[in-house]
Structure formats: C-alpha cells, structure tokens
Amino acid sequence: MNKSINRRDFLKGAGVLAAASALPVSMVELVFADTTQNFSFAYISDAHLQQIKGTKFVNNWDRGLIRAVAETNLLTPKPDFILFGGDLAQLGKKAELDHGAEILSALRGNKVYHVMGEHDYYLDLGQYWETLFGPQYYSFDHKGVHFVVLNSILTYDDWTYKRWPTAEQRMLEMADLDNPNGSPFMVGDKQREWLKQDLAKISKTTPIVVVSHSPLQKIYKNWNFWTDDAEQVQALLRPFNKVTVLYGHVHQIQYNQIGNISFNSVMSTAWPWPYPSTYAQAEQYLPKLTVPMNRADPFFERDATGWQFINMANGNVDMRYNLFSNTSRTVAFNTKTGEPEDTVFQSPDKRIPPQTQY
C-alpha cells in the first residue's frame, strides 16, 4: 500500500480501526499539523447490565459490552484512554456494577474514565459507584485538550429525596425512559458553580470536551433526551473557541451544532432507541443535522448498537461509530461549514433506505 495517507483516508475506507491498527504510529502522526493536539480515545457507553438472579445476567446486554471491550483491545496504536459513558448497570445494583467493572477490567493498559448514568445512580445516589470509579464530576487535561466530566442526570431534590417510599422504587421510576413519574435531568447549581471555577483557569483557545450522560441540549423532554439547565451550561462554555459535548443515554446517533458548541452522541452496547421523531404523539427537536442511524433488525441482537473510536483532530472531534452487524458511520467536524457531518450520508440524496425508514 504505497499511496500517501492523509487524514481523510485515515478516517474512511477499509475500516479505519483496522487501517489504524496496521499503521506504524509515525505514519499516523505525519498527517497532522500539530501532533501535540492529535490523539484518539475510545468511548463505550450504556451497557445496561441487568441482573436476573444471583450470578445470572441478561445475556444480550452482556454480549454487547464484552464485544466492545474485545474490539477496543484490537486498536493499535492504542487509544490514549477510554471513556465509559454511563448506565453500566440497569437498576444500580452492586452486583450489576461489579459485573460491569469486571468486564471492563479486560480493557488492556488504558486508563478508563467513568461518567454517571441515571441507571447507576438512583438506587443509592451513586454511593457504590463512587467506591468503584471515583468522583461523580471532575476534569482532566490531555495533550492540550481540557476534558470535563459532569453528572448531568441529577434532578429536583423533592423528587430524589421525598417522593418515593423506597430507594428501589425511585430507581424503577427513573429506569423507564417514558415514565410520566420520572423527572427532568439537570446538572444543578452546585456543579455549574464548580464548572465555572474549573473553566476560569482555562485559556479561551484551549479546546474543551465536556462529557455528560444526558444531552446538554434539549431534544425531547418525555424521554429525558434533555437537560433542564442545558442553556445555563452552554452559556458557561460560550467563551471558548472550540467546544464539544459528548453524551450517551440516547442509544442512537445524534449530532448538532449550537453556536460554538458541537454535540455528538454515542451509541449503546445494549439496545437501540427509536428516534423521538418516530413517536406519533410527541413534539420533539431532533437536530436537523442528524442523519438517523439504520433501522435495526431485532434478530441480530447487536444490530444498531456499538461503540466509538474518537479522533481529536486539532481540537475538534471526529467520531467513528463502530456498529455491530451494520455499516459503520463516521461523523467528522467539517472545518468549512463549522458543523459535524456524516462523511458519507450527510446530503439528503446520499441517504439509504434504512436511514429514512422508521
């Protein structure tokens, strides 16, 4: 293979992961202008490991996480780190979190950063999770990029502390996506204040990546594709030149651009969710930019699930969706339009039937 490899080739073609895995590191780095700002990381999310009884777990969800871990382990050069995007458990149980930690422990030689999901939280309000994975919100710097991890799935204190007779019931009420007894997610005053302080030290030209479980934008309230104080969080991010928000929870491909902020969702390893636009009774705000993912074939249990390999290209994010039993997708930041775009399917005449069906 003698042709020169540019960044676009690196992102498409004969399977970027595989291509990357065979390329000596030096070849990859040659193509970037500023090597200090270019690196990759893997993002696995929404495993929803579900205990049936004792050591028995729902096989289907287990397989998704196991496979994502095995595939991530095949990446060479290795991703600099791995993010787990929340909802490791289905009902916040110790057994489920332990089971998840065990499966993730097979990830070889990489630091794993964790994000809190509502399915991890609402049984014991994150207590056990913290003992396994550390604080619920924090920030770190990596090769010139400032990463902020938020717990965005908090809600009103009345709902959390007063409304439910037991912790189990509170967990169950929040677990069903479409439950009218649920409550809108939010980052909350305390964390926003912390975020303000955290960002105060950061230069406006430093690329910022904010990681949350729920979207820090408003898409569809009834399924909590929504964060109630999204605008207030966005306002704190507005002064920076390059900002990306990465979120889980929605179990589908979404992307958007609001002002200076790019939004990219990540997939679930467990099951896909329908787009809110397919629910006949609802008003919703699916971003116009988003090209829907392919409709799933339920027989192939892994179909429409997957994980992400993310390339930080000069402070912007290029998402490689590695989809099981389906065509992989790449959503990359287009510096010309200033928006994230699908590298193949963005234009309406490039869409294929599974993306336009429901």
Partner 1 sequence: MHFEQLKFAVLWIVVTGLTGVLSAPAQADEFTQADLNRWQEQYAKVVKDGRELWTSSKLGSNGVACVQCHPNAANTHPETYPKFQKQLGKVAPMWEMINWCIRNPLEGKALAADDYKMIALQAYITEERRGVKLDPGKH
Partner 2 sequence: MKACFSGASTITAISISLAAMATPLGLPPVPIPADNPQSPEKIKLGDKLFHDTRFSSTGQVSCATCHDAKKTFTDSPLPVSRGINKLKGTRNAPTVINAAYFHRLFWDGREPSLEEQSKDPMINPVEMGLPNHEPVLKLVRTDPEYVQAFKTVFGKSGEQLTMEEVKKAIASFERTIVAGNSPFDHYYFGGDKNAMTAAQIRGFKVFMDQGRCVSCHTVEQDQALFTDNRFHNIGIGINQMQKDVPRLAGEFLKAKMQGGDVDKAVLGNPKTSNLGRFAVTDTLDDMGSFKTPTLRNIAMTAPYMHDGSLKTLKEVVVHYNNGGVTRKGDRVNDFLSGGIRPLNLSERQISDLVAFMGH
With CB under 5 to 8 Å by kind, the binding choice for 17 among partner 1, partner 2, none is: partner 2
Residue 103 vs 195, nearer CB to partner 1: 103
Which long-range contacts link 288-292 to residues 24+ away (Cβ below 8 Å)?
A: 289/255, 289/256, 289/257, 289/339, 289/340, 289/341, 290/253, 290/254, 290/255, 290/256, 291/253, 291/342, 291/345, 291/346, 291/351, 291/355, 292/252, 292/253, 292/355, 292/356
> Interaction with partner 2 in 16-45: which residues (CB under 8 A)?
17-19, 21-22
- 59 token code pair: 């096989």
C-alpha 69: how far from chain center: 15
Q: Among 298, 336, 348, 349, which residue sits at the site for partner 1 (rule: CB under 8 A)?
A: 298
Residue 70 vs 282, nearer CB to partner 2: 70
* Gap between the terminal Cα atoms of the chain: 40
Q: Among 5, 19, 58, 125, which residue sits at the site for partner 1 (rule: CB under 8 A)?
A: 58
With CB under 5 to 8 Å by kind, the binding choice for 35 among partner 1, partner 2, none is: none
Measured CA to CA, the distance from residue 318 to residue 308 in angstroms comes to 10
Q: Which residues have C-beta within 8 Å of that of residue 19, sequence separation ≥ 6?
A: 10, 13
Q: Among 28, 83, 323, 331, which residue sits at the site for partner 2 (rule: CB under 8 A)?
A: 323
Measured CA to CA, the distance from residue 310 to residue 330 in angstroms comes to 10
- Count residues near partner 1 (CB under 8 A): 30
> Which part of the chain contacts partner 2 (CB under 8 A), choosing from 57-65, 77-85, 89-97, 147-155?
57-65
- Residue 11, SS3 per DSSP: helix
Q: Identify the DSSP state of 79.
A: P
Closest-CA residue to 249 (of 301, 279, 212, 277): 212
With CB under 5 to 8 Å by kind, the binding choice for 205 among partner 2, partner 1, none is: none
With CB under 5 to 8 Å by kind, the binding choice for 303 among partner 2, partner 1, none is: partner 2
- 358 token code pair: 């429901």
> Interaction with partner 1 in 226-285: which residues (CB under 8 A)?
271-274, 276, 278-282
> Which part of the chain contacts partner 1 (CB under 8 A), choosing from 100-108, 134-142, 154-162, 293-301?
293-301
- Per-residue binder mask for partner 2 (CB under 8 A), 67-86, x = binder: x-xxx-xx-x----------
Render 280-348 in DSSP notation, one character per residue: TT------TTPPPPPPP-TTSTTTT-EEEEEEEETTEEEEEEEETTS--EEEEEETTTTEEEETTT-SG
287: how many CB neighbours lie within 10 A of its CB? 17
With CB under 5 to 8 Å by kind, the binding choice for 302 among partner 1, partner 2, none is: partner 2
With CB under 5 to 8 Å by kind, the binding choice for 282 among partner 2, partner 1, none is: partner 1
On whether the CB atoms of residues 101 and 130 are closer than 8 A, the answer is no
> Interaction with partner 1 in 123-182: which residues (CB under 8 A)?
176-179
- Per-residue binder mask for partner 2 (CB under 8 A), 132-161, x = binder: ------------------------------
> Which part of the chain contacts partner 2 (CB under 8 A), choosing from 86-94, 110-118, 122-130, 302-310?
302-310
Measured CA to CA, the distance from residue 320 to residue 346 in angstroms comes to 15
Measured CA to CA, the distance from residue 186 to residue 242 in angstroms comes to 23
Residue 252 vs 256, nearer CB to partner 1: 252
Interface residues toward partner 1, by CB under 8 A = 48, 50-52, 58-60, 176-179, 222-223, 271-274, 276, 278-282, 295, 297-299, 301, 357-358
Using CB under 8 A, list all residues that contact partner 2. 1, 14-15, 17-19, 21-22, 59-60, 63-64, 66-67, 69-71, 73-74, 76, 299-303, 305, 322-326, 328
